[in-house]
């Protein structure tokens, strides 16, 4: 599925690049992806008992006139071909492609609690210095971490969560016993 969503993202990227619309598509793709990540949206789009026409109407109601016609057509095509499950992965891949093209490395920070703007700024600066690249940080809150955070950046995982520390401790105790 990742390869298929990357293919669709690459096609969208090529379209945006050819038409000089990368920044507009990037902004709108983030908006669309975030809107589709709500439980209401996923409940409608991924529900097999809801027919394609109702899903098309939902896409039209939410996005028509709010996003570029080509991006709207991309969503409409995914629904029409019953590939709506590829919307979020394809948009996420597209967003990463545009950011990489612009010289920015995406970093996804998963934290046990919400980070304030100053913390995000400091983390962005730290990661940029460590990687010697421009980094764009997005933050997701996952309370199951108990405390701390982990970061996916540039093909790496940096895990400083309490959950990981407890798992490491559990493994050390098993070795001793």
> Mind spelling out the 3-state secondary structure of the chain?
CHHHHHHHHHHHHHHHHHCCCHHHHHHHHHHHHHHHCCHHHHHHHCCCCCCHHHHHHHHHHHHCCCCCHHHHHHHHHHHHCCCHHHHHHHHHHHHHHHHHHCCEEEEEEEECCCCCHHHHHHHHHHHHHHHCCEEEEEEEECHHHCCEEEEEECCEEEEEEHHHHHHHHHHHHHHHC
pLDDT recorded at residue 5? 66
pLDDT recorded at residue 155? 79
Stated pTM of the model: 0.66
Question: If you average pLDDT over residues 69-91, what whole number do you get?
Answer: 92
pLDDT in tens, 37-47: 887 888 898 89
**To the nearest whole percent, how much of the chain has pLDDT over 70?**
97
When the pLDDT of each residue in the chain is averaged and rounded to a whole number, the result is 88
Question: If you average pLDDT over residues 30-36, what whole number do you get?
Answer: 91
pLDDT recorded at residue 67? 95
Domains, the chain, with CATH or none: 2-99 (1.10.520.20), 104-176 (3.40.30)
Q: Tell me: pLDDT of 32 over 70.
A: yes
pLDDT recorded at residue 6? 80
pLDDT recorded at residue 77? 92
Model confidence band, residue 2 (pLDDT cutoffs 50, 70, 90): low
Q: Tell me: pLDDT of 157 over 80.
A: yes
Q: Tell me: pLDDT of 1 over 70.
A: no
Question: If you average pLDDT over residues 132-138, what whole number do you get?
Answer: 86
């Amino acid at each position: 599925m990742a390869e298929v969503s990357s293919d669709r993202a690459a096609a969208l990227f090529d379209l945006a690049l050819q038409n000089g619309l990368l920044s507009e598509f990037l902004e709108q793709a983030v908006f669309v992806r975030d809107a589709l990540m709500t439980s209401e949206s996923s409940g409608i789009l991924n529900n097999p008992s809801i027919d394609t026409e109702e899903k098309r109407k939902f896409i039209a109601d939410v996005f028509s006139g709010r996003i570029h016609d080509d991006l709207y057509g991309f969503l409409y095509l995914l629904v029409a071909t019953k590939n709506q499950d590829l919307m979020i992965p394809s948009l996420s891949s597209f967003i990463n492609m545009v950011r990489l093209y612009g010289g920015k490395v995406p970093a996804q920070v998963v934290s046990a609690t919400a980070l304030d703007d100053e913390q995000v700024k400091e983390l962005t600066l730290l990661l940029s210095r460590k990687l010697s690249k421009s980094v764009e940080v997005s933050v997701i809150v996952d309370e199951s971490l108990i405390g701390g955070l982990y970061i996916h950046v540039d093909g790496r995982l940096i895990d400083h969560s309490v959950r990981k520390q407890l798992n490491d401790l559990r493994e050390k105790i098993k070795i001793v016993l």
